[in-house]
Structure 1
Amino acid sequence: MAPSSTEQKQNTAKIQRRIRTLQQVVERRPLTMRWVLTMITAAVMIIAVQLFLYFTTKIEGTLVVAGSVGVALVLIIIAYGFVRRRQNAIAGYLMLTAILVAYIGAELALKQLTAYFAFGGITLIWLLGKAFLPRRRSVWLVAIILYCIALAVVNVWEPLPRHDAFQLSSLGVQIAVVTLLLGVLF
């Protein structure tokens, strides 16, 4: 029995939707790969600067920042594997988690940078969510809300001794420049 014209139209529409979805995945892959590679590069550079600052100033907070960015780097490298396997959703969750870990770790160790961290973290969550999880805006929103709550808790509670970042001018300048570049480049 031959399918009716209505069934044929429905099947054609389903196939066209699947093709569009596949085209979107293929178009997004270079963007997601670029994001992962950019984030790996940025993380390595931040770790290097933080370790340099620790060895020259002996400020322990820079080790906390290097450690949190190191954990984020591991998550980003794992995300790289998922992007290569075309599993952007899993990679996206890992990338968002990496941003939360890196920025909250930095907030735990450094004070006077909350505005920069808030701007940078929210911007990155939004941009990474848009690139990796374009149809899951609720995930971006939850990540942004959790991030803002974590920033507030760290500022009120201060579980670790926090170093005033602007006492060490190179650290304050580094954070400000990275945040401004983030806003300009993306």
Structure 2
Amino acid sequence: MSENDPIKWRGTTIISVRKGNQVVVAGDGQVSLGPTVIKTSARKVRRLGRGDVIAGFAGATADAFTLFERLEAKLETHPGQLTRACVELAKDWRTDRYLRRLEAMMIVADATTTLILTGNGDVLEPEDGLAGIGSGGHFALSAAKALHDIDGLDPETIARKAMKIAAEVCVYTNENLVVETLGDA
């Protein structure tokens, strides 16, 4: 980082694991500003809509809250249609002058669908039911992929183990987790 670069907020690891009839979204609690940990217990995963959608964000906090609010409005307009609500949000995010500046990514999931949303207009559905975003997202995703086919491991156990591994290798990730689950074991 040069002396002309602004200090950047960094960090977040969000993982989503879908297995059987359950989906889990987990996120760490660390917020860092440059080399300094500002907060260790941020809540980056929450339920939206009528509680039937889980969303986790990576990126600027204010931007993420704006996107949460916008997604909730889209879910009200298109109840029970997560993909449609997300596509409508992505269109707005990509074309609206204000929203286009937002720096965040989101993982959203309901009982049947998991999606990754980006400011580039992407609405991506992972083929294997696993998704990871944020600074430690690739670490957590790799760990979840390795654990996913092990018999006897439920989605929450996989998500927690994957997040632990990510926290061991990513300095912007900690083990203070928020975990939300949908579906029956």
Structure showing greater radius of gyration is 1
Higher relative contact order (CA 8 A, sep 6+): 2
Whether these two folds match at TM > 0.5 is no
* TM-score when normalising by structure 1: 0.28
Say which structure is richer in strand.
Answer: 2
Say which structure is richer in helix.
Answer: 1
